[in-house]
């Protein structure tokens, strides 16, 4: 890993994402090295020749002068990095950020693949309507190890359970769904009693990692190659449409709500989770903005 400390003018930036007002990334790069990482586009802004996943820039910023200006605003921590990557244990930049924002009234959404976030549970609990999501797209640890260097799926689910027990709104982010590989129903069954939301997101292949994933499928799952070619070379949506129908019927069978956007959903913590379908990225509207994770 190439690790540098860099001075950042501002760690909080205005966002056009439908789920937040501001994006917050205490690091550039991510040592989890997910093979499908959409954030790898950040490499062209980092001046790093190393492959994505082999460098991380640790951001140092001046203390936030007026944190209360973010009161009531949605801050998404981890839009293009994992704020709880292994380097956080040493550098503590995410914890520093949370400490600076404590008492500001900011609404936090945090996305991670780590259980290091348990260190900050008591701190996160002090924020109004804090929300934390864990990415889980398989229960197969071998497939997970092929795809990323983050902690095990079991450790992610255990951390999710602890946050849920503590009254923090939790999301199981089933993303990205690999056609023919990700068992969505099995993950829902495993997580539904320890989260408030279940987000579904399809595998999008673009940029440099499209060839990486297609080569992986060809080598490890050759029987699925025609399906991946149909979806990712010929643009077919039939797989996602069929899965959408199947999951809608499944949700009805097990008594879960199933919606196609997260339009200001607010439910008591003791309700079953809501399943939110985000299969078609181009169709996500700004009206989804405040649903959160």
154-170: pLDDT as tens digits? 999 999 999 999 999 99
Helix (H, G, I), strand (E, B) or coil at 250: helix
Q: What is the CA radius of gyration of the chain?
A: 19
Determine which helix (DSSP H) or strand (DSSP E) holds 256, and give its type and residue range. none
- What is the average pLDDT value for the chain, to the nearest integer? 89
Residue in the structure block whose two tokens are 């939301």: 197
Query: Which whole number is the average pLDDT over 238-266?
Result: 85
Lowest mean pLDDT among 35-39, 115-119, 162-166, 281-285: 281-285
Residues 6 or more apart whose Cβ sits within 8 Å of residue 204: 38, 176, 281
Here the CATH number for the domain that contains residue 256 is 3.20.20
Asked whether residue 172 is assigned to any structural domain, the reply reads yes
Asked whether residue 293 is assigned to any structural domain, the reply reads no
Burial of 47 (0-12, 13-18, 19+ CB in 10 A): exposed
pTM: 0.90
Cα–Cα distance, 126 to 120 (Å, whole number): 10
Q: What is the pLDDT of residue 19?
A: 75
Asked whether residue 137 is assigned to any structural domain, the reply reads yes
* Residue 269 pLDDT level (bands cut at 50, 70, 90): low
Residue-wise pLDDT for 166-202, tens only, equals 999 999 999 999 999 999 999 999 999 999 999 999 9
Asked whether residue 243 is assigned to any structural domain, the reply reads yes
Domain that residue 272 falls in: 2-288
* Residue 37 pLDDT level (bands cut at 50, 70, 90): confident
Asked whether residue 210 is assigned to any structural domain, the reply reads yes
Cα–Cα distance, 138 to 248 (Å, whole number): 20
Q: Based on the structure, what is the number of domains in the chain?
A: 1
Q: Three-state secondary structure along 157-189?
A: HHHHHHHHHCCCEEEEEEEEECCCCCCHHHHHH
Cα–Cα distance, 135 to 147 (Å, whole number): 12
Asked whether residue 149 is assigned to any structural domain, the reply reads yes
Cα–Cα distance, 278 to 273 (Å, whole number): 16
């Amino acid at each position: 890993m190439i690790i540098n400390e860099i001075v950042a003018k501002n760690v909080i930036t205005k966002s056009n994402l439908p789920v937040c007002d501001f994006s917050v990334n205490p690091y550039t790069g991510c040592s989890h090295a997910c093979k499908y990482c959409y954030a790898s586009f950040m490499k062209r802004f980092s001046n790093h020749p190393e492959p994505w996943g082999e460098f991380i820039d640790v951001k140092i910023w001046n203390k936030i002068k007026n944190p209360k200006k973010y009161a009531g605003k949605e801050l998404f921590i981890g839009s293009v990095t994992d704020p709880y990557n292994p380097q956080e244990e040493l550098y503590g930049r995410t914890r520093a950020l949370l400490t600076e924002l404590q008492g500001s009234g900011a609404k936090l959404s945090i996305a991670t693949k780590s259980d290091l976030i348990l260190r900050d549970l008591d701190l996160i609990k002090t924020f109004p309507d804090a929300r934390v999501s864990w990415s889980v797209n398989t229960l197969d640890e071998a497939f997970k190890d092929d795809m990323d260097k983050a902690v095990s799926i079991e450790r992610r689910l255990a951390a999710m359970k602890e946050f849920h027990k503590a009254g923090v709104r939790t999301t199981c982010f089933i993303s990205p769904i690999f056609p023919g590989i990700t068992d969505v129903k099995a993950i829902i069954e495993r997580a539904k009693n320890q989260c408030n939301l279940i987000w579904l997101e399809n595998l999008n292949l673009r940029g440099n990692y499209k060839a990486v994933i297609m080569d992986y499928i060809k080598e490890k799952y050759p029987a699925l190659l025609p399906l991946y070619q149909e979806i990712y070379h010929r643009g077919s949506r039939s797989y996602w449409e069929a899965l959408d129908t199947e999951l809608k019927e499944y949700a009805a069978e097990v008594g879960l709500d199933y919606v196609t956007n997260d339009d200001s959903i607010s439910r008591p913590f003791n309700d079953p989770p809501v399943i939110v379908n985000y299969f078609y990225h181009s169709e996500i509207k700004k009206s989804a903005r405040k649903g959160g994770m």
